[in-house]
Amino acid sequence: MRMQLSSRTTFLAKILFPGVWLSMPTVLSVVMLLEWNRGFFVTAGFALVGFVFFSFTSFPLKEVIARDHGLYVNNFVEVVFIPYSQVASVSYSYFNQRRVTLTLKSPCRFGTEIVFLPYIYFTFYGLREHPVVEFLRVRCG
């Protein structure tokens, strides 16, 4: 069995969008620094604030694929296998980009928390948990 738990837009949300968004104020800051324009501090500050924002929202995202015996977690550089028995808890955030957070019993290469955006699921029930959360809670015990 192979099941993609994370959204297929994870690469877009983690790398492409922040990269394009951060490149604009960064390039503008470099140009202003070379010309020694006082606007450099504004654009550099804007780039720094954007980087901090993406460090908490986008950069931690992972791609997660469920298999029979565990999860394959990908950060687009390397892939780590995590057995279901290593997952201590599964939580779902309704308001923080609808994220799923896996807390591990012992740290892996990516730390003790795995954060991902689940695949797109439409519901008319409002604040209902995503089916991925129930799937993982059953598998992880």
Q: Hey, what long-range contacts does 22-29 have (CB within 8 A, 24 or more apart)? A: 22/47, 22/50, 22/51, 22/54, 25/50
Q: Residues 53, 51, 20, 47: is their CA dihedral positive or negative?
A: positive
pTM confidence score: 0.85
Q: How confident is the model at residue 129 (pLDDT cuts 50, 70, 90)?
A: confident
Give yes or no for a contact between 85 and 44, defined as CB atoms under 8 angstroms apart.
Answer: no
Give yes or no for a contact between 52 and 114, defined as CB atoms under 8 angstroms apart.
Answer: no
Which tens digits make up the pLDDT trace of 59-105? 999 999 999 999 999 999 999 999 999 999 999 887 766 799 999 99
